[in-house]
Every structure is written in C-alpha cells, then in structure tokens.
C-alpha cells in the first residue's frame, strides 16, 4: 500500500517533504487525555497560517514516549483527514525495537501518513551494522518514503557517514532529519548521496542550507513558520542578505524555545496564543511562571510577541 503525496512544487524533486516542517506537539485535554479536535485545529493553523509543507506527528515533540500506539494511530488519522490534502503527514514511528517500529510503520501507513520519521534506536546503542539492518528492515516493510532521524545527543548513537551513504541506496530512504550538529559530516553525506537533509536544529537551518540542506524540521516553527519559510526561500533565491537578517532576527526564539525541553515551552506559548496545547504528560512538567516570562521575552526579541 502506498500513498500519493499532496500535489505541490516540491513533489518529485530533491525536497520530498517540502521546505518547512514542524514537529507538532500533541494537544491534550485538561485531564491529560488525547485532544483530537485540538490536534485538528492546531494542524490546520500550522498548515494554513504558518505555511508548513509538512507536519511530523508522534515525534518526541509530540510526546511519543508517553502516548500509546492506539493514540498515535488516532492522531495520524485525524490530522491526515483534516490537512492531508494540502500538507504531507510524516509519522514518527522509530523505537529501539525493530519489530515494534515495523508495526508502527504499518499502522501509520494504514492511517494515512505520507511518510515516516525513523529515529536511531536509543538506549541499547546498536553498532552501525545493527543500524543498517534496522533501517533497511523498516524500509523493506513499508511502502512509504522514510526520513531518518540522526540525533546522537538523545539516542546515544550517531548514524555514521558510511552508514548513511549505504542507506541512501535504498529507494524508500530519501531524507534525514539532521540533529547531529556536525556540518562537516553533513557535507560528506551530501557529497556522496542524494539524500535530502533537513536541519533538526532550528538555529542551524541557514548554516545547513549553505552546505546543501533543503529545509528544517522545527520546534520554534510553531511560532516562526512564516518567517522561517521566508528565510529559506530568500536563501534559495540568492538573497542571502535577507536570509541572514531573518536568521539573526529569529535567533532568540530559535534558541530560546530550548531553554527547557522544547515541548514544554511550545505548549506554554500555544496556550498564551489561545491555540490547542493542554498540559504535558509526566515525566515532563508544565512551564513555570518564570519560564513563561522568559519565553515572552524571547518571542518579543524575535519580533513575534505573545499576547498578554
């Protein structure tokens, strides 16, 4: 079973998921249960108001460690039905268990996802041969295009350059969410493969584009989507002065959103804007008053003040 991607200028090009992607938080109700109506409202806002080409659901920013498989399926189905005709839905399915990851990939495909985000298996620290087997097994089992997620400071294991180059030979492994923070390694992979790289660190979006990346999978882009897309498009058009000005303007929020765990501040900011968010689930904790005040200052410094 395969799913056609929504029509758009990037379809069939080197940007398989567009330019601007937000790793969407998962809204919960006040009692902590899944808020599907809120998820649909938030997804519509991110696509229609913030200009996102794609949304990642059930990533870490979506609190996937604390959502059930059934909740994840329901979220994909609801959001895909709401915005899947005008944005790509990329489902986070990565775990540290290959069999479970394959099961989640099949579930996401049936629920209407257009692509998969597969993070490096975490905590059990497999060798590179294990990573190669893991990612290949998932790609072999699914009909969807796959974005690998390389974030060694969380998983404990990097996807080495040679491993990425070998994985690029698989027809369904098409992209990387690159949160390694090593633009030299990124450059080598881009020189030796046709993988599409998306910055996994908001503040490195512009620097990463200078070595060949095509966009961002962002967190602050819940708020900075319009301006971040302008920055990407300005750089692609050769207007590096405008791109650099936007990069510098948005830095306070690109970095400030991570003063604590990103989802905590995103949910606090969304609540301040009257958008669906709800509480975080333990072991995360909701933003304190001081953290919200600092977020307000960071938003204001980026020219995107939160409502009082």
Residue 177 annotated among the catalytic residues of the structure: yes
Q: Report residue 174: phi and psi, to 5°.
A: -120, -15
User: Distance between CA 232 and CA 227 in Å, rounded?
Assistant: 9
Selecting among 110, 122, 125, 149, the annotated active-site residue is 149
Q: Report residue 124: phi and psi, to 5°.
A: -80, -5
CB distance 109 to 3 below 8 Å = yes
In whole angstroms, how large is the CA radius of gyration of the chain? 18
Q: Where are the alpha helices (DSSP H) in 211-261?
A: 221-236, 240-256
Q: Which of 36, 72, 71, 32 is nearest to 56 (CA)?
A: 72
User: Distance between CA 287 and CA 266 in Å, rounded?
Assistant: 9
Selecting among 122, 123, 125, 177, the annotated active-site residue is 177
Residue 229 annotated among the catalytic residues of the structure: no
Catalytic residue numbers, as ranges: 149, 177
């Amino acid at each position: 079973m395969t799913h056609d991607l929504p029509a758009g200028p990037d379809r069939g090009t080197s940007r398989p998921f567009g330019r601007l992607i937000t790793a969407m938080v998962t809204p919960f109700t006040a009692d902590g249960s899944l808020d599907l109506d809120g998820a649909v409202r938030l997804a519509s806002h991110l696509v229609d108001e913030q200009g996102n080409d794609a949304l990642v659901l059930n990533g870490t920013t979506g609190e996937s460690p604390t959502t059930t498989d059934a909740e994840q399926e329901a979220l994909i189905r609801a959001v895909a039905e709401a915005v899947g005709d005008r944005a790509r839905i990329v489902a986070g399915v990565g775990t540290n268990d290959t069999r479970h990851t394959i099961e989640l990939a099949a579930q996401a495909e049936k629920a209407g996802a257009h692509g998969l985000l597969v993070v490096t298996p975490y905590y059990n620290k497999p060798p590179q041969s294990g990573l190669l087997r893991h990612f290949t097994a998932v790609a072999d089992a699914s009909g969807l295009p796959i974005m690998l997620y390389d974030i060694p400071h969380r998983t404990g294991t990097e996807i080495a350059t040679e491993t990425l180059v070998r994985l690029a030979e698989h027809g369904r492994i098409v992209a990387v969410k690159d949160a390694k923070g090593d633009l030299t390694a990124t450059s080598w992979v881009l020189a030796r493969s046709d993988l599409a790289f998306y910055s996994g660190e908001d503040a490195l979006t512009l620097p990463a584009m200078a070595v060949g990346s095509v966009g961002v999978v962002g967190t602050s882009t819940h708020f900075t989507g319009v301006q971040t897309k302008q920055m990407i498009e300005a750089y692609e058009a050769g207007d590096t002065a405008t791109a650099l000005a936007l990069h510098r303007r948005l830095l306070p929020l690109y970095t400030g959103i991570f003063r604590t765990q990103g989802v905590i501040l995103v949910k606090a900011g969304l609540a301040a804007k009257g958008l669906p968010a709800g509480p975080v689930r333990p072991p995360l904790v909701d933003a304190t008053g001081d953290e919200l005040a600092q977020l307000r200052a960071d938003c204001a410094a980026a020219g995107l003040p939160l409502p009082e």
